[in-house]
């Protein structure tokens, strides 16, 4: 059985729209504590962003941008030409890897599974930073052999691809590694004549960088019959579209054949506020490529950071032509608070692509802001897939968890179970803390809103002062908040613990009665701050343990890295 089948099910994006049921410590009968095991009764999520409550969608053809809110970075899109569209995004060291979304109209997106679900596809994650692992997937359909390919970089193992003829099956091949393709961000290009190519980002020529961020784009031909590269790799871009300006990080490349003209598109400027997308034209897949004088074709740099609802860091795009003929681009961008920080990570946005009279595509022009409400003529938004301020509850009664749930660095099925106590999720305490670079006794999900509320109910009794379990807000190994039940010489308590680079610090600790086996735990994000609460009466009354806690600590601005914040459940034998 694959990791995806163990840890998720067809309770997919639609399940996110159930009404939250709140915190309840009982379903049927009394759950007795078990030695060194935390037993979770439910987990609820509720989005509360001002933008969504103040800006309802105007009609059934309108939709919110980002189309995949929360940490869904490095999007790639493809179509089979028959009206099916697919998006995949990065997952780094989270497991299962590379979520796969499907749509028939580019507006309503349903997650149908993950592409990387087996240990043979996900290796060498242990001891990696949260932002290691799987970088920047590229998803393409080859009509010549009716096969879907996903190619990506595992920073601990190299560049590889997997493939399938049925993306709905959830079964993709074992990885085929490509040692001759060095660098990162590989992408397939399948030409109209049946020939195939791989384009990717690599080091400067002969490894001699003239300045930090000096990179190249290289192309090599690929044989789909032998699954091997053939011929020599050729540098098609050195430095970027204006070499004299010393551009940095010409990455995330894609090649397209549009009416006989070859287009090469790359990101430039890094993944922060200077991020952008540029375009070139060529007569063959190997170029030579000429950049457009109107570049960049997408960026948000230079806009007033104090503008309402700013979208920043836009880039790493991919293009698609719909069956109706219109062109669209998916790309990553961020939604910072006050232009300073955010916990959502890099999200997947979408915009229409426009064309100049002389055949250049563009997404934004000078000082054009990425809109947060868009419309696609003829599409009918299904409320089941509208995000915004949705509510959801996982009550752990289904035989498998939904696709939104993830573990870190590997399959944690030996620690996490839905079978030990039917109707409950159990996590066995392990000799691993959430700050360790290891497979964790942890399961979490992305947050999708600046303002949100998460709650869980848990039965757990710590057996020694280092043992604890509860709710965790996690950015990476050294940027976390733990709201946990534990014990010390004084008896049982609820503790709020901050994890940072120097170790751990208890921000607050409240004693609870030793008769309390079950507690409810809740975090309320107000965007800039977190409020943490607990309840000993099934959620009827909530006690604040600490309010106004700095949310910047779990943001990319404070922690760096490429992921967003996740919130989840854990149990551990270590502080």
Beta carbons of 71 and 81 less than 8 angstroms apart: no
User: CA–CA separation, 480 vs 484, rounded Å?
Assistant: 12
Mean pLDDT of 479-497: 97
Catalytic residue among 4, 138, 251, 318: 251
Indicate the fold that domain 74-385 takes in CATH. Tachylectin-2; Chain A (2.115.10)
pLDDT at 18 > cutoff 50:
no
Question: The whole model's pTM is what?
Answer: 0.94
For the record, the structure tokens of 479 come out as 């940027």
Catalytic residue among 41, 49, 74, 273: 74
> Mean of the per-residue pLDDT values for the chain?
93
Most confident stretch, 6-10, 125-129, 302-306, 432-436? 432-436
Beta carbons of 89 and 100 less than 8 angstroms apart: no
User: CA–CA separation, 21 vs 540, rounded Å?
Assistant: 13
Q: Is 323 exposed, middle or buried (CB count within 10 Å of its CB: 0-12, 13-18, 19+)? A: middle
How confident is residue 338, by pLDDT bands cut at 50, 70 and 90?
confident
Beta carbons of 64 and 375 less than 8 angstroms apart: no
Candidates 2.60.120.200, 3.40.47.10, 3.30.460.10, 3.40.50.300; CATH matching 3-48+389-572 = 2.60.120.200
Nearest to 311 by CA among 286, 332, 287, 288: 332
Beta carbons of 455 and 520 less than 8 angstroms apart: yes
pLDDT in tens, 289-328: 999 999 999 999 999 988 999 999 999 999 999 999 999 9
pLDDT at position 24, please? 53
pLDDT in tens, 554-574: 999 999 999 999 999 999 999
Task: Report the helix count and the strand count for the chain, using DSSP H and E.
Answer: 3, 40
pLDDT at 20 > cutoff 50:
no
pLDDT in tens, 266-286: 999 999 999 999 999 999 999
User: CA–CA separation, 520 vs 537, rounded Å?
Assistant: 8
pLDDT at position 366, please? 87
Q: What is the residue extent of each domain of the chain?
A: 3-48+389-572, 74-385
Cα-atom radius of gyration of the chain, to the nearest Å? 24
Active site residue 251: yes
User: CA–CA separation, 100 vs 10, rounded Å?
Assistant: 12
pLDDT at position 340, please? 86
pLDDT at position 123, please? 81
User: CA–CA separation, 162 vs 253, rounded Å?
Assistant: 19
Give the 3-state secondary structure of residue 486. strand
528: left (phi over 0), alpha (psi -120 to 50) or beta: alpha
pLDDT at position 22, please? 57
User: CA–CA separation, 52 vs 282, rounded Å?
Assistant: 43
How confident is residue 1, by pLDDT bands cut at 50, 70 and 90?
very low
pLDDT in tens, 59-115: 999 999 999 999 999 999 999 999 999 999 999 999 999 999 999 999 999 999 999
pLDDT at 13 > cutoff 60:
no
pLDDT at position 387, please? 78
Distances (CA, A) of 512 to 51, 461, 535: 38, 12, 10
Active site residue 463: no
Helix intervals (H) in 69-142: none
Nearest to 330 by CA among 346, 345, 349: 349
pLDDT at 231 > cutoff 60:
yes
Beta carbons of 494 and 468 less than 8 angstroms apart: no
Starting from the edge strand earliest in sequence, which strands make up the sheet with 479-488, in order? 442-446, 566-572, 468-476, 479-488, 491-500, 503-511
pLDDT at position 6, please? 35
pLDDT in tens, 142-180: 999 999 999 999 998 999 999 999 999 989 999 999 999
Place of tokens 């941008």: 65
Euclidean distance between the first and final Cα of the chain, in Å? 33
């Amino acid at each position: 059985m694959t990791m995806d089948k163990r840890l998720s099910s067809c309770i997919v994006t639609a399940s996110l729209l159930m009404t939250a049921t709140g915190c309840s410590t009982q379903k049927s009968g009394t759950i007795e504590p078990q030695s060194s095991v935390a037993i979770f009764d439910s987990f609820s999520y509720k989005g509360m962003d001002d933008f969504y409550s103040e800006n309802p969608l105007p009609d059934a053809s309108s939709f919110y941008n980002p189309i995949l809110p929360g940490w869904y970075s490095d999007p790639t899109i493809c179509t089979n030409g028959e009206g099916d569209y697919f998006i995949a995004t990065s997952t780094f060291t989270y497991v299962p890897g590379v979520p796969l979304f499907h749509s028939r109209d580019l507006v309503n997106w349903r997650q149908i599974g993950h592409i990387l679900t087996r240990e043979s596809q996900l290796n060498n994650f242990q001891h990696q930073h949260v932002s290691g692992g799987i970088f920047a997937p590229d998803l393409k359909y080859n009509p010549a052999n009716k096969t879907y390919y996903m190619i990506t970089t595992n920073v601990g193992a190299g560049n590889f691809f997997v493939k399938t003829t049925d993306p709905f099956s959830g079964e993709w091949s074992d990885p085929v590694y490509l040692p001759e393709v060095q660098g990162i961000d590989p992408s397939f290009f399948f030409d109209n004549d049946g020939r195939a190519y791989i384009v990717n980002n690599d080091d400067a020529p002969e490894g001699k960088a003239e300045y930090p961020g000096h990179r190249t784009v290289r192309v090599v031909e690929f044989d789909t019959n032998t699954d091997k590269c053939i011929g020599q790799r050729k540098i098609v871009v050195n430095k970027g579209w204006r070499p004299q300006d010393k551009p940095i990080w010409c990455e995330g490349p894609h090649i397209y054949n549009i009416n006989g003209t070859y287009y090469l598109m790359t990101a430039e400027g890094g993944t922060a506020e200077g991020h952008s997308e540029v375009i070139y034209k060529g007569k063959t897949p190997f170029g030579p490529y000429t950049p457009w004088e109107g570049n960049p074709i997408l960026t948000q740099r230079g806009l007033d950071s104090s503008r309402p609802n700013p979208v920043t860091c836009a880039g790493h795009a991919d293009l698609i032509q719909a069956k109706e003929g219109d062109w669209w681009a998916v790309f990553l961008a961020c939604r910072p608070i006050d232009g300073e920080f955010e916990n959502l990570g890099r999200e997947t946005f979408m915009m229409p692509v426009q064309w100049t009279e002389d055949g250049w595509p563009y997404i934004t022009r000078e000082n054009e802001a990425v809109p947060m409400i868009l419309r696609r003529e003829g599409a009918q938004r299904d409320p089941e897939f509208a995000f915004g301020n949705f509510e959801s509850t996982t009550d752990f009664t289904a035989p498998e968890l939904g696709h939104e749930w993830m573990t870190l660095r590997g399959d944690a099925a030996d620690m996490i179970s839905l079978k030990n106590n039917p109707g409950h999720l159990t996590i066995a305490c392990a000799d691993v803390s959430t700050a360790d670079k290891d497979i964790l006794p942890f399961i979490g999900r992305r947050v999708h809103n600046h303002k949100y509320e998460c709650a869980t109910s848990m039965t757990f009794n710590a057996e020694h002062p280092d043992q604890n379990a509860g709710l965790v807000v996690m950015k990476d190994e050294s940027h976390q908040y733990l709201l946990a039940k534990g014990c010390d010489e004084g008896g049982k308590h609820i503790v709020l613990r901050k994890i940072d680079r120097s170790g751990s610090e208890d921000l607050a600790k409240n004693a609870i009665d030793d008769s309390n086996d079950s507690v409810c735990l809740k975090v309320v994000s107000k965007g800039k701050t977190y409020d943490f609460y607990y309840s000993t009466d099934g959620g009827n009354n909530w006690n604040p343990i600490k309010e106004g806690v700095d949310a910047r600590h779990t943001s990319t601005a404070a922690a760096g890295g490429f992921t967003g914040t996740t919130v989840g459940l854990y149990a551990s034998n270590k502080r």
